Amino acid sequence: MELEFSIVDVFAEQKYQGNQLAVFRNAGELTDEQMLKIAREINFQETTFILSDEPSDGGYNVRIFTPEYEVPFAGHPTLGTAFVLMGDTESAITLHLKIGKVPVKPADGILWLELNNPVFGETLYTDLPPLLGIEPTDVDDTLPVQLVSTGLPYLIVPLKTLKAVQQVKPEAAAITQWLIDNQLHKSNSADGLTTAFFVFSPETHAEVNHVHARMLCLENQKIIEDAATGSANSCLLAYLLKHELPVIHKLVEQGYEINRPSLISIKGERTGNEKYKLQVGGKAQLVAQGKWFV
């Protein structure tokens, strides 16, 4: 079997920035095991499989795999897959993911995905800072450390300065035990718990940006950093709408610490009845296309 595939950089202002993604087309004949093996061979944070190039029920059926397991949703794979499907058109499309239907709309060179209402969790993680390699005084105590999910859960950690964000360096064994103690340890992709931390500050590298952020997660007893995380930024957006302003439009920079500068646009609003409109956007760059022999 031969499959067409593309490699794209997502949330990237130019090639070789942002977050890498491999997208496979017409992959409906692959088994789960084959998809996982291909994702491991590619070894990006995520790989997507478009089951058919023919739309069904108003959208395209897509599955997302990390090198370890399938995930129900992730931001940069959603935008990158939509980018491949759109080609040269400027039409909005919908992806059918494990979490449901996710629309993606192009506007002024940016692809925007829309997300459902967030779920807010606990705010009782005052013992976390030393485990991240920072001081308790580095945390912005005007905001909570809080678990937020828009499909995947992240622990949002507000820090005061760019320097504090840069200094975050969790130790895998200590973080593993902390996650277990707090019933947040994720042993598989289906239990709804988190091993991911999203730290941010209002200080940035570029003056035109508004937020500097990093996403770190525990995988196979190692701390992994992501270059650009759409799902985490949607959680950040929901968090800021809840705790700061009811209408927000910000530029988030991510990936600088791993030499993959990324730019994520977040905009949304919270209405009086606690309904949230969340949009996450960015650019995608085509890097390569080819055939994969299964």
Beta strand 153-158 with 196-201 is: parallel
Q: What's the average pLDDT block by block, 10 residues per block, for the chain (294 residues)?
A: 97 98 98 98 97 95 94 93 91 93 93 90 85 95 93 93 97 88 65 75 97 92 92 96 96 98 97 92 98 97
Alpha carbons 107 and 109: distance in angstroms, whole number: 6
Distance between CA atoms of 158 and 141, rounded to whole angstroms?
8
pLDDT at 189: 41
**pLDDT value for 194:** 64
Q: What per-residue confidence (pLDDT) applies to 52?
A: 97
pLDDT, position 186: 61
Homologous superfamily of domain range 119-281: Diaminopimelate Epimerase; Chain A, domain 1 (3.10.310.10)
**What are the residues facing 87 on neighbouring strands?**
none
Query: Which residues, listed in sequence order, are joined to residue 101 by a DSSP beta bridge?
Result: 96
Give the pLDDT confidence score for residue 273 in this predicted structure. Answer: 84
Give the predicted TM-score (pTM) of the model: 0.92
Domain boundaries, the chain: 2-115+283-293, 119-281
Nearest CA to 119 out of 230, 239, 273, 18 is that of 239
What is 2-115+283-293's CATH topology?
Diaminopimelate Epimerase; Chain A, domain 1 (3.10.310)
pLDDT computed for residue 187 by the predictor:
53
Q: How far is Cα 108 from Cα 274, in angstroms, rounded to an integer?
A: 29
User: What is the spatial distance between Cα 3 and Cα 232, in angstroms, rounded to a whole number?
Assistant: 30
Residue 40 is inside which H or E element, if any?
helix 32-42
Own/partner pairs, 158-163, CB within 8 angstroms, 24+ separation: 158/199, 158/200, 158/201, 159/134, 159/199, 159/200, 159/201, 160/201, 160/203, 161/201, 161/203, 162/201, 162/203, 162/204, 162/205, 162/212, 163/203
Calculated CA dihedral for residues 75, 23, 109, 118, nearest 10 degrees: -10
DSSP string spanning 82-137? Answer: HHHHHTT----EEEEETTEEEEEEEETTEEEEEE---EE-----TT-GGGGTS-GG
2-115+283-293 shares its CATH topology with 119-281: yes
- Residue 51: CB atoms within 10 A of its CB come to 18
Q: Determine phi and psi for 255, rounding to 5 degrees.
A: 90, 0
Q: Which two tokens stand for residue 8?
A: 């794209």
pLDDT of 190 = 42
